[in-house]
Amino acid sequence: MNEPPSRTAGFCFRALAADGNARTGVLQTAHGPLETPAFMAVGTAGTVKAMTADAVRMTGCQCVLGNTYHLMLRPGVDRIVRLGGLHRFMDWPGPLLTDSGGFQVMSLSALRKIDRDGITFRSHIDGSRHRLTPAICMDLQHRFDSTIAMVLDECTSFPATHEAAEASMDLSMRWAELSKRAYRPRSGYGLFGIVQGGTHADLRLRSASTLKDLAFDGYAVGGLAVGEGRRAMLEILEITVPHLPQEAPRYLMGVGTPDDILSAVERGIDMFDCVIPTRAGRTARAYTASGVHNLRNARFADDHGPLDPCCECPGCTKHSRAYLHHLFRSGEMLGPMLLTWHNLAYYQSLMRGIRSAIKARRFSDHASHLRAGWKTPEAL
């Protein structure tokens, strides 16, 4: 299955195989390839929490996500530039995607004011006043040396009336156009547009059409996993994804659980990010082939078996469930470190299996096998 390349020189997505709507491919970038479907580890402030960059690499992760809002406030773009750019600063030479920061600014509520040209807000750290516009957002990500930059958008709140969602989507589309104008193309770098529109099908289709006409290097589906529920999320994907260009990567922002990822791949999504595996690792929850386990549970106190016998992370190959249980019950920082490593390794193993199954044209069977192995999660 050969698709034409995307638009920016050196930044090229090629689908290699498909099984139904699920597809696997490679995104070539200035900082190396990204095999898809891909899960990107979240490194909001220039670090994946509880992980060294070497540890992240050892999980098989190929791309890390940073956040423009957090990085612009601390340590600041000037300092990052002086220290050699974000890749060098955080010891990550591979692809880096930076979110625009729009979602984080929107969450400030009383600390921000939106107008048609951007957002004025006060820092949640020290109350200092800042301005974020599409042009400023593009300049920040350029100076960070982000491999993949995201347009500035407004994440539509949920629930939202059709009128409110339409106004929000129209504003995001205006900002998308301004972002595209301000973006400085470089070989091997790309800019993604973000589809908005809440849970309203007509708005999602209009947003997708607008972004397609602007010809971005990739397309994200944003504004989901914000309370609308899994069924509504999947319905929006079914409506939206077929209207996104085949020759460009498709990114579902902020999703999700392993089952959510399977369901989104079934609907044609190529890229994912989510804080779930790292946040779960810090709170004693482990994702495994047999479901989610809470390592604080007393039943693990004398369990000498490995957390997941199929996993090759240090937590599984060098330690028992009993030891991991002990670390969390004792408040030792090694517990979150080992379990974060495990969860990221599991997610990367999940993605490798998905890619292999698509290439072998057995994705449906593979997904059914995975789902059968995931038991009902424990009460957390």
| Catalytic residue (one of 99, 170, 260, 308) | 99
The H helix count followed by the E strand count for the chain is: 15, 16
Phi, psi (rounded to 5 degrees) for 335:
-60, -55
10 Å Cβ neighbour count for 140? 21
- Count other Cβ atoms within 10 Å, centred on residue 100: 27
**C-alpha span between 187 and 42 (Å, rounded):** 25
What single letter denotes the amino acid at residue 181? Answer: R
CB atoms within 10 A of CB 154: 23
Contacts of 371 by beta carbon, 8 Å cutoff, 6+ apart: 259, 262
Three-class secondary structure of residue 47 per DSSP:
coil
- The pair phi, psi for residue 77, each rounded to 5°, is -65, -35
C-alpha to C-alpha distance for 288 and 321, rounded to whole angstroms: 12
How far, in Å, CA of 215 to CA of 180, rounded? 9
Inter-residue contact 125 to 115 (CB < 8 Å): no
For residue 119, CA distances in Å to 136, 164, 194, 264, 279 come to 11, 18, 17, 31, 29
Amino acid at 222: G
- According to DSSP, the residues that pair with 221 across neighbouring strands are 195, 252
Q: Are 194 and 153 in contact (CB under 8 A)?
A: yes
Among residues 119, 85, 49, 80, the alpha carbon closest in space to that of 282 is found at 49
Q: Considering 19, 170, 270, 273, which one is annotated as catalytic?
A: 273
Q: Answer whether 275's CB lies under 8 Å from 51's CB.
A: no
How far apart (Å, rounded) are the C-alpha atoms in residues 100 and 155? 11
Distance of CA 84 to the CA centre of its chain: 25
Tell me whether residue 153 is one of the annotated catalytic residues: no
**Residue 99 annotated as catalytic:** yes
Distance in angstroms (rounded) separating the CA atoms of residues 188 and 8: 7
> Mind telling me the catalytic residues?
99, 273
